[in-house]
Amino acid sequence: MSNSPTVDQIRARGYVICGSGHGTTGFSAPDKDGIWKGLDAETCRAIAIAVLGDGSKVRFVPLTGQQRLTALQTGQIDVLPRTTSWTLRRDANGINFTYPNYYEYDAFMVRKDLGITQTKDMQGATICVQTGSTNEVTVADLSRKFNLGLKTVLFDNVAASRQAFFTGRCDGLITDASALAAVRATQAQNPDDYIIFPASGNSEALTPSVRHGDDRWFDIVKFVVQAPIAAEDMGITQANVDTMLKSDDPRIARFLGTEPGNGKALGLDERWAYNIVKQLGNYGEMFERNVGKNSPMKLDRGMNRLYRDGGLMYPYVFN
């Protein structure tokens, strides 16, 4: 038995249950073979690797913006690595946010022929919004701040909001900038007909979360999310991780488990972090594969660079 009821349940059933979206390219979406791919999907697999030793031992539960936090609070899912922003009220309402796996900003997408290039141009516009998202609050705040008279059309899921936008029901679509880039690239008949621009200028930390009440599980997920970031910071990659097992650097030895202690502290195998990097790579590799230069989205890392490269990704101390 571990010191975590959640871990005990996971090991008894044999897989981790992760909440997901209804198909967000680059983050969590099934491919043509039904295999979930994306940065959030790989975060789920990393958790399964740490707890069960096998990244395939996962189940994904698609959830709407309204459903996701309730599903986590009630135990329908074990963890929510689903493009969910870390906010004060969510954190205070039974949710523990671990560590951001993607920094983002909200944005609008509109047709170029509307002549709109910034939020202040959107006087009287109708906006498609997913219910239960932080974007609801953003639209209301922007409308009040700039006296825009914005009107919202609410949808239970992201697919419905996108379809409504492309069929002309709304003037604009608001969500995370990366999601809009994916939508424009994959769903617009002519991507060049649309423009994307920042909505509020506020950045958000998209963060995997767990429910209150299981501190050990919180610790595990927090350091699993951190592990690929720490690996990148130490220069450990999927290609060189086996060589790094021979490193004389105490920090690397502790991280990879050749010097024991970290695994025992979390109730995991001593090589849990090694196994994650071996199977998935470091954070930079995960980013580029799913949303960066090696993906269809071709997004710049921006805020998601390591701290030393001018970004916000900073590793904890693994000892």
pLDDT tens by residue, 122-157: 999 999 999 988 899 999 999 999 999 999 999 988
Calculate the CA 118 to chain-centre distance: 26
Asked whether residue 296 carries a pLDDT value surpassing 90, the answer given is no
What are phi and psi for residue 204, nearest 5 degrees? -130, 145
Region class of 195: left (phi > 0), else alpha (psi between -120 and 50), else beta: beta
Q: Do 173 and 218 fall into the same domain? A: no
Condensed to tens digits (0 to 9), the pLDDT of residues 57-115 reads 999 999 988 899 999 999 999 999 988 999 999 999 999 999 999 999 999 999 999 99
pLDDT band at 284 (very low <50, low <70, confident <90, very high): very high
Asked whether residue 182 carries a pLDDT value surpassing 90, the answer given is no
Report if residue 319 sits inside a domain.
no
| Domain final position from 205, 240, 270 | 205
pLDDT band at 227 (very low <50, low <70, confident <90, very high): very high
pLDDT band at 48 (very low <50, low <70, confident <90, very high): very high
Q: Do 127 and 148 fall into the same domain? A: yes
- What is the structure's pLDDT at 24? 86
pLDDT band at 314 (very low <50, low <70, confident <90, very high): very high
Q: Do 305 and 255 fall into the same domain? A: yes
- Contact between 279 and 49 under an 8 Å Cβ cutoff? The reply is yes
Residues 6+ apart with CB under 8 A from 118: 197
Which amino acid is located at 296 in the chain? P
Which amino acid is located at 53 in the chain? G
Helix H or strand E segment including 264: helix 262-266
- What is the structure's pLDDT at 133? 87
Give the other-Cβ count within 10 Å of 13's Cβ: 12
Query: Whose CA is closest to 228, among 50, 57, 88?
Result: 50
Asked whether residue 1 carries a pLDDT value surpassing 90, the answer given is no
Q: Do 74 and 131 fall into the same domain? A: no
Q: Do 88 and 222 fall into the same domain? A: yes
Q: Do 95 and 244 fall into the same domain? A: yes
For residue 168, the enclosing domain spans 104-205
Asked whether residue 22 carries a pLDDT value surpassing 90, the answer given is no
Gap between the Cα atoms of 144 and 13, Å rounded: 49
Q: Do 80 and 148 fall into the same domain? A: no
Lowest mean pLDDT segment, chosen from 4-13, 99-108, 128-137, 214-223: 128-137
pLDDT band at 201 (very low <50, low <70, confident <90, very high): confident
Region class of 277: left (phi > 0), else alpha (psi between -120 and 50), else beta: alpha
Asked whether residue 32 carries a pLDDT value surpassing 80, the answer given is yes
Query: Whose CA is closest to 53, among 226, 257, 229, 246?
Result: 257
Q: Do 87 and 28 fall into the same domain? A: yes
Tell me the mean pLDDT in the region 12-40.
Answer: 95
- What is the structure's pLDDT at 166? 98
Residues 6+ apart with CB under 8 A from 241: 231, 256, 274, 277, 278
- Share of residues in the chain with pLDDT > 70 (%): 100
Q: Do 278 and 246 fall into the same domain? A: yes
- What is the structure's pLDDT at 114? 97
| Domain final position from 156, 180, 205 | 205
Gap between the Cα atoms of 277 and 55, Å rounded: 11
Tell me the mean pLDDT in the region 38-50.
Answer: 99
Q: Do 265 and 246 fall into the same domain? A: yes
Condensed to tens digits (0 to 9), the pLDDT of residues 255-273 reads 999 999 999 999 999 999 9
SS3 (DSSP) at 23: coil
Calculate the CA 81 to chain-centre distance: 6
| Domain final position from 205, 231, 255 | 205
SS3 (DSSP) at 106: strand
- Contact between 66 and 161 under an 8 Å Cβ cutoff? The reply is no
Report if residue 192 sits inside a domain.
yes
Report if residue 264 sits inside a domain.
yes
- What is the structure's pLDDT at 159? 87
Kindly report the pTM of this predicted structure.
0.91
